[in-house]
Structure formats: C-alpha cells, structure tokens
Amino acid sequence: MLVDLSRRRFDALAGYTRVPRILALIDERAWYATSDERLLGVVTQDRQDHDFGWAVLARDERLRYRGMDQNACLASFEAAREQMFASMARLIAQPDTAFHKGDGKGGPVDFFAPRAKLDRLNPLFKVLEEDRYSAARELMSAMMRYFEDADGNFIEQFQTTGFDARLWELYLYAMTTEAGLARLPVQVPDLVVEGLAGRVGIEAVTINPSATGGASWPADPIEARAYTEGYVPVRIARALKSKLWHKNRYWTFPEMAGTSFVIALQDFHAPASMRFLTPMVTEYVFGVRHSIVDGRRKIERISEHRFGGLVEPSNFFGLAEAENVSAVFINPTGTLNKFNRMGVQAGFGSPRIRIARTGLRRGELDEGDPGPKPFDQLVHAPGYSERWIEGAVVLHNPNALIPLDPALLPYANHEFLEADGRIMSMLPAFHPYTSVSFTTLAEEA
C-alpha cells in the first residue's frame, strides 16, 4: 500500500541525501511511501523545461535512503506518479539486500545502543526514553543514520557527559541540511557545508556548567542583572576565544581556503540560561549596548565585562585575528525541545504528545507597534509550522576578511553593526527571542 508523505516527514527520513546542485534544476512536487516506509518516492518537475520525473529510494546496508530507480522527461505529473508507483510495486518484492550498494563502511550509526553503564548516562539522555520525548528520539533515530562520527567518540559523549555539546552539533547538522547545505567530508571544523550560495565552515562551542559549580543565578533582581551583564558575557567571551585562538587556527586548513568561518555558540551553563543569550552575545561581539533612556534610544560603547574578579574586554570582533571569523551564530531555541517539536511536526512519537509553546517574539515588522510581542502556539495542532533555523541569530563581523553571505542561512535573523553603533537587522517574518515548551501526554482514548 502506498501513502502520501508530507514534506516534513520526507525531509526527516531522507532529506540528508539531497544534492544542492540538483535542487537548482528540479522542484519536488509530491512525496510518497510504502506503508512501512521501506520505500520512498518523490515526483519532480524540471525548473527549465517543466517536464516531470520521479525517483524511488530505499535503505542501503547502513539504513540510509539511496536512489534505486528513476526517470525523467515525462509529460505530466500523473504520468510520472503512475510510472513511479509501478516501480515501487516492483521493488517492494525485493529483499533488503537488493538495495545494498556495497560501498558502506561500518554498520548503521546508532545513537541509542548502550555505550556506557547506566550510572554514567546523562539525565537528559535518559529523558529521551520517556513517551513525552518520543518524537525527539524517533527524529534522532532517522537522522543518526546519516551522521558521521568523525572523532569516534560522539555517541559515547552524547550518552554521557557531553550530551549538551553533541545535541548542539546535531542541531547544526539538521539546520544546515534544511537550509539546502550538504555536508562535505571534512573533519575540521565541525561542519563544512556547501550549497548554491557557497560554502561555510562551522565550529560548534557550548558554555557548560563550571567544574566548581560556578555562580548561581541570583534571585535578587539587582544581583541577577549584574550576573547577566557581567558573568554571562565573561563566559561567552571565554567560549568564543577558545575557538578564535585554538592552537590549530580553523581558517588555516586547506579545505577552508576562501571559505566563510562561523562559530556557533550555545549556552548550557545553567538551566534555561540560553534565554539570555541573544542580548549578551550581541553586546559582547559588537562591543555596544542599546538601551532606552527617557523614551529615547541610547547607544554606548562597552570596554569590558566584569563580574567579581573576572574581567574580559568587550568587542570580540575587534580582537586580534577575529577578522578571520565571518560571524557568530546562536539560537536560544536550539535545544532538546526543538527536536521534540520538529519530531511532532514530522509525525514521529506518541500520538498522545501535547506541546504548548509560549514565548516572546520580535515585533519590528508589525505596523504601528514594533515592540516585542508574546505568542502562544499548540505544536500538536494542525497547521503548526516551525523551521530548524527559527530563532537563530547570525551576528556578522564588520571586519571579516571573508564575509558570510546571508543567503547561506535563510530565515535566520541577520544582524549587522553600523559605524555609528546602530545594528541593522534582516528579520524573517516570525522571529522568537526565546520560548518555553510545556509537554504532556493526553489520556488514552
């Protein structure tokens, strides 16, 4: 039996196989699958001569979907679909081994096969065993088949002490794939991806809890502000500088010649700490602070960030060698809840999952009232739509030797520092500052 497949579902199952240059030639018109998703099918249309075509995919020995049959130059959508259905009916009778290509190195990648003793498993990794997060787990299970463990310890760290950092890398992989960027077989930096608009190298970094526990988030409002404007930027500075002045400068590798270099930062140093990330990273990398005084915007240059005995100079993009960094990428919503929401969208997980999402969005594009606006969404409701890149902020280096083309990361919020300290924003239609997801399970029907 053949069933219609949503674009979201197809992307989650096989989107990692797309070749950007092919997408410049064809438009995908419809997606299908056998009821067990053993075979996938896609009907295409040529962008130039408007002929129709199709392709059928099946899993190889590493459980990655690969092309098994195809045709083109058909006169109509209906003719292409009928021919594709006939091919799928023929292929469904084949054994799994008929789809193996013989070029796979190693077995299928499995993030969830035990690599550590139970007492070493990260609490958040164990959360993925809960029905509430089954959508995230199943989405990752589809994604993991295509992920290359370059350093050989990704899975062990994902299950134990490095869960947050490895989750951030997975997010970047999913986000760049959605943006039409294909991963190249390069080990350093973490991701080198290429699309129709060019190539970019991305190095991931996370702010983690201090080994000594660090400072706790104060309950007193005055102390909390000092912590947010002092301690948080200090941690941001040290994370970014660790990548800027890495012993092996990332931009010096041959594969990075002429390529934009981006540092992708996420903050996991305290529960929900990423909700303050955007304003603090913006102030630190640009070295400016915007505020409203007596109803008027005030712009001031920042010389340093200080918290107790900790001091870091401001203006990351003004540091020595920082001209080799094209931009800093952040996304406060790039967390485990993002994976769960995206999984629900793609039809993964328990049908009992209910997710209520609430947050604050930017309102500059609203007529008459440009201030921040609260929003509420039901993720499990029909019509809900979210992109992997939603919530992302790209802070462009005004001094970059190789600037980043914003077209490489569409639907992000791109920020540019002007000479007078103003910041120009290229906003998507909807951009959340941050959000919170409340996930529950409905009663059994």
How large is the average pLDDT for residues 36-40? 98
Distance, in Å, from the CA atom of 60 to the CA atom of 235, rounded to the nearest integer, reads 44
445, pLDDT greater than 70: no
How large is the average pLDDT for residues 182-192? 94
DSSP element (H, E) containing 283: helix 277-286
Give the count of beta carbons closer than 10 Å to the beta carbon of residue 249: 14
Q: Hey, what are 128's tokens?
A: 């993925």
DSSP element (H, E) containing 288: strand 288-293
| Cβ–Cβ < 8 Å for 425, 363 | no
Helices (H), 44-181: 77-91, 123-127, 134-143, 154-159, 163-178
Residue 218's pLDDT is: 83
Confidence of residue 8 (pLDDT cuts 50, 70, 90): very high
150, pLDDT greater than 80: no
How large is the average pLDDT for residues 119-147? 96
Q: What is the pLDDT of residues 209-234, one digit of tens each?
A: 887 655 567 888 898 888 999 999 99
Q: Hey, what are 172's tokens?
A: 């970047």
Give the count of beta carbons closer than 10 Å to the beta carbon of residue 299: 13
DSSP-derived letter for residue 367 is S
β-strand pairing of 304-307 with 296-301: unpaired
| Cβ–Cβ < 8 Å for 32, 42 | yes
Distance, in Å, from the CA atom of 50 to the CA atom of 53, rounded to the nearest integer, reads 10
Residue 33's contacts (CB-CB under 8 Å, 6 or more residues apart) are 2, 3, 5, 9, 10, 39, 40, 41
Distance, in Å, from the CA atom of 63 to the CA atom of 110, rounded to the nearest integer, reads 10
Average pLDDT of every residue of the chain: 94
Size of the chain, expressed as the number of residues it contains: 445
Q: What is the pLDDT of residues 267-313, one digit of tens each?
A: 999 888 898 899 999 999 999 998 878 778 889 999 999 999 999 99
Q: What burial class does residue 301 get, using C-beta atoms within 10 Å of its C-beta: 0-12 exposed, 13-18 middle, 19+ buried?
A: exposed
Per domain, the residue ranges of the chain are 2-99, 109-445
| Cβ–Cβ < 8 Å for 357, 440 | no
